[in-house]
């Protein structure tokens, strides 16, 4: 396979951003969440990466349609089945004016792979090593074909070696740790309040659209809407579906929406023999982890009325889901049957599994990461109560929630809300490799399999499809693998949400399937 991409061939994809040149103006965005980690090689999350994308460097970037755009690399090529070659733009420089060379990229990638607290290593599954034959050539050697590697590299930030060598966590809270290669440069981060950026005068690519950009962290949906109505912010993301129609009817605002690549689901802690938050009537952990039994997992799946969640919690702005993928992605299976709603069958399954009276369970969720996530959590807990599960709901901000729900640690949660979007790869292989493959850190696989579900037959299928070059053949195998995982109730899919943005009149924000909110894609009308 050989693919050659040059920036000139992608000019049309970025015309909407670069046609206007630079502007003298300021933009204030009311954001639904804030960074869960300021270290860009720790937590792989679109909610966090969207901020990094403004001020850090990336070898390649992602467009609203999930295509790959030049960034530090001006072109890239697959040479045979085991080598990708990226050409570094000779004009590329860091925000401090230092030229960017191939070895800089290697240093960041090796840090992302080896970070013991990080979740980026799965992107490099199948990568054998890196070489820099000259300052402007990066070679990435793979164990076999890796057709989606350029897509996946849109997720990994690149920083100068002088920044990351010996970096302390506090450095990433200040300009010292945020030397980048992007349209904007880091100015200030105040946790729980705001992130301020300004135009980078050293950026070698398309110029910043705004002089300054301020993200105000408004995690409460009502507060975000009020801030927009009062003029305190220019636009907001994560518009509650119940407010979208009202804002659309107001001539002072522009509401845009589109399909998301994101699936909302619940994760079971499957690997541990005893899971701490599944308890008996005395509040003591059950002697055996109930989620090891597929009958319990299926009972939970049948207890959830997904149509009701889409209607009640999402005001119709969501679609019930039966797999970890969306129709926008390659490998999605449109013929896989929906998960039924049958609480009586669920009760029967619990009885067969040895839990005729159910058990106690903490349902852990975030309240500022997904559209109406807290409301969804409450509804899920209520539905489980109807089959005898005595639920307690634990709601936390994502920055706190993530410490126990995005780690392979002893104090991780037993049953918790999760989300996944395979936008970067443009196909469900990304979910299969990172979310549904067994957790095997030595292979860099299953890094986001946080319930540590294991299925050797599924693993074999996933590892096979990952090296198939023909897209149609690969997508067919992806559908087979996804069916295997969903038939075994590896996770509990809920719904696919929509992306809803609202801005003051005169602004036109662009919708990303991965739910990024990027300032350079918020354009004044007519530009």
CATH classification at residue 426: 3.10.105.10
What's residue 117's pLDDT? 83
Which residue, 110, 143, 171, sits at the end of a domain?
Answer: 171
Whether residue 73 lies inside any domain: the answer is yes
Give residues with Cβ within 8 angstroms of 108, minimum separation 6. 41, 156, 157, 158, 159, 161, 164
What confidence tier does 345 reach under pLDDT thresholds 50, 70, 90?
A: very high
Residue 10 has a pLDDT of 35
Q: The domain spanning residue 133 has which CATH number?
A: 3.90.76.10
Which is nearest to 372 in space by CA: 221, 216, 217? 221
- Average pLDDT, stretch 443-464? 96
What domain range is 421 assigned to? 260-497
For residue 12, pLDDT over 90 is answered with no
* Inside any domain, residue 517: no
Of 171, 186, 214, which residue sits at a domain end?
A: 171
Same domain, residue pair 40 and 140? yes
**Domain co-membership, 164 together with 311:** no
Structure tokens at 181: 């290669």
Q: For 381-422, what is each residue's pLDDT tens digit? A: 999 999 999 999 999 998 899 888 888 888 899 999 999 999
- Rounded average pLDDT over 132-159: 96
Final residue belonging to a domain, choices 171, 186, 209: 171
pLDDT of residue 380: 98
pLDDT band, very low/low/confident/very high, at 9 (cuts 50, 70, 90):
very low
Specify whether 267 is located in the same domain as 167: no
pTM: 0.84
Domain count, the chain: 2
The whole-number pLDDT of residue 405 equals: 86
Would you give the end-to-end CA distance of the chain in angstroms? 38
Residues 363 and 482 in one domain: yes
> What confidence tens digit (pLDDT) does each residue in 69-100 have?
999 999 999 999 999 999 999 999 999 999 99
Q: What is the pLDDT of residue 65?
A: 85
Shared domain for 137 and 266, answered yes or no, is no
Distance CA 349, CA 297 (A): 9
Residue by residue, DSSP assigns 97-129 as: SPBP-HHHHHHHHHHHHH-TT-S-GGGGTTEEE
Q: Is residue 271 located within the same domain as residue 161?
A: no
Specify whether the CB–CB gap between 5 and 13 falls below 8 A: no
Rg of the Cα atoms in the chain: 23
28 is a domain residue: no
Instruction: Please tell me the number of Cα atoms within 13 Å of 190 on its side-chain side.
Output: 8
Distance CA(324)–CA(261), nearest Å, equals 10
State the alpha helices, DSSP H only, in 386-470: 398-405, 429-431, 456-465
Residue 20 lies in a domain: no
pLDDT of residue 402: 87
pLDDT in tens, 251-265: 999 999 998 999 999
Does a structural domain hold residue 212? no
442 in a domain, yes or no? yes
Query: Which pLDDT belongs to residue 107?
Result: 98
Q: How does pLDDT run across 96-124, given as a tens digit for each residue? A: 999 999 999 999 999 999 998 888 999 99
Q: For residue 8, what pLDDT is reported? A: 31
136 lies in the same domain as 277: no
Same domain, 291 and 438: yes
One domain, residues 47 and 152: yes
CA distance 2 to 25: 43
Residue 370: helix, strand or coil by DSSP?
A: coil
pLDDT category, 424, cuts 50, 70, 90? confident
Tokens 């979740």 correspond to what residue?
A: 119
CA distance 374 to 383: 14
Which pLDDT score is estimated for 20? 40
State the pLDDT confidence band at 346, using cuts at 50, 70 and 90: very high
Q: Look at residue 286 and tell me whether its pLDDT is greater than 90.
A: yes
Based on the fold, state whether residues 466 and 325 are members of the same structural domain.
Answer: yes
Q: H or E segment at 485? A: helix 471-487
pLDDT digits (tens, 9 = 90+) for 196-248: 999 999 999 999 999 999 999 999 999 999 999 999 999 999 999 999 999 99
- Residue 18's pLDDT band, with cuts at 50, 70 and 90, is very low
* pLDDT band of 517, cuts 50, 70, 90: very high
Q: How many CA atoms lie within 13 A of 112 on its CB side?
A: 26
The mean pLDDT value for 49-54 works out to 96
Question: Is residue 435 over pLDDT 90?
Answer: yes
93 lies in some domain = yes
Task: Report d(CA 159, CA 483) in Å as an integer.
Answer: 39
pLDDT, greater one: 288 or 17? 288
My answer on whether 276 and 380 are in the same domain is yes
Confidence check: pLDDT of 464 > 60? yes
> In this structure, is residue 213 part of a structural domain?
no
pLDDT at 486 over 50: yes
167 and 264 both lie in a single domain: no
């Amino acid at each position: 396979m050989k693919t050659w991409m040059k920036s000139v061939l992608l000019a049309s994809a970025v015309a909407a951003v670069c046609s206007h040149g630079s502007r003298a103006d300021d933009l204030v965005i009311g954001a639904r969440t804030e960074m869960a980690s300021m270290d860009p090689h720790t937590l792989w999350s679109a909610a966090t990466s969207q901020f990094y994308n403004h001020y850090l460097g990336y070898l390649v970037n992602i467009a609203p349609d999930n295509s790959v755009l030049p960034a530090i690399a001006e072109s890239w090529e697959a040479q045979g089945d085991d080598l990708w070659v990226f050409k570094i733009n000779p004009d590329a420089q860091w925000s401090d004016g230092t030229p960017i060379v191939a070895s800089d990229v290697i240093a960041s990638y090796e840090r992302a792979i080896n970070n013991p607290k990080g979740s980026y290593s799965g992107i490099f599954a199948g990568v054998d090593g890196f070489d820099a034959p000259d300052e402007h050539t990066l070679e990435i050697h793979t164990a076999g074909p890796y057709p989606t590697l350029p897509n996946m590299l849109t997720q990994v930030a690149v920083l100068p070696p002088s920044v990351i060598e010996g970096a302390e966590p506090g450095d990433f809270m200040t300009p010292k740790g945020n030397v980048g290669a992007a349209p904007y440069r880091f100015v200030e981060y105040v946790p729980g309040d705001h992130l301020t950026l300004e135009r980078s005068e050293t950026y070698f690519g398309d110029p910043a659209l705004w002089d300054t950009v301020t993200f105000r962290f408004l995690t409460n949906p009502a507060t975000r809407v009020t801030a927009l109505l009062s003029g305190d912010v220019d636009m907001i993301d994560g518009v509650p579906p119940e407010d979208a129609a009202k804002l659309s009817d107001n001539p002072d605002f522009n509401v845009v929406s589109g399909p998301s690549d994101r699936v909302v689901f619940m994760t079971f802690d499957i690997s541990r023999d005893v899971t701490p938050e599944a308890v008996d009537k005395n509040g003591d952990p059950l002697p055996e982890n109930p989620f090891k039994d597929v009958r319990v997992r299926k009972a939970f799946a049948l207890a959830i009325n997904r149509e009701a969640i889409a209607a009640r919690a999402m005001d119709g702005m969501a679609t019930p889901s039966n797999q970890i993928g969306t129709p926008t992605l390659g490998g999605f299976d449109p013929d896989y049957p929906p998960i039924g709603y049958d609480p009586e069958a669920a009760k029967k399954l619990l009885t067969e599994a040895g839990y005729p009276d159910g058990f106690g369970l903490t349902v852990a969720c975030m309240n500022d990461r997904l559209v109406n996530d807290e409301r969804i959590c409450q509804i899920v807990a209520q539905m489980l109560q109807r089959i005898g599960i005595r639920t307690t709901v634990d709601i936390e901000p994502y920055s706190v929630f993530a410490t126990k729900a995005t780690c392979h640690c002893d104090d991780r949660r037993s049953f918790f809300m999760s989300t996944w979007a395979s936008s970067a790869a443009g196909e469900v292989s990304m979910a299969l490799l990172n979310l549904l493959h067994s957790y095997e850190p030595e292979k860099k696989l299953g890094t986001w399999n946080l319930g540590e579900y294991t299925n050797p037959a599924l693993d074999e299928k996933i590892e096979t499809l990952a090296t198939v070059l023909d897209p149609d053949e690969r997508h067919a195998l992806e559908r087979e693998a996804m069916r295997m995982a969903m038939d075994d109730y590896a996770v509990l899919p809920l719904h696919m949400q929509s992306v809803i943005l609202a801005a003051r009149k005169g602004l036109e924000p662009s919708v990303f399937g991965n739910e990024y909110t990027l300032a350079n894609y918020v354009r004044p009308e007519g530009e």
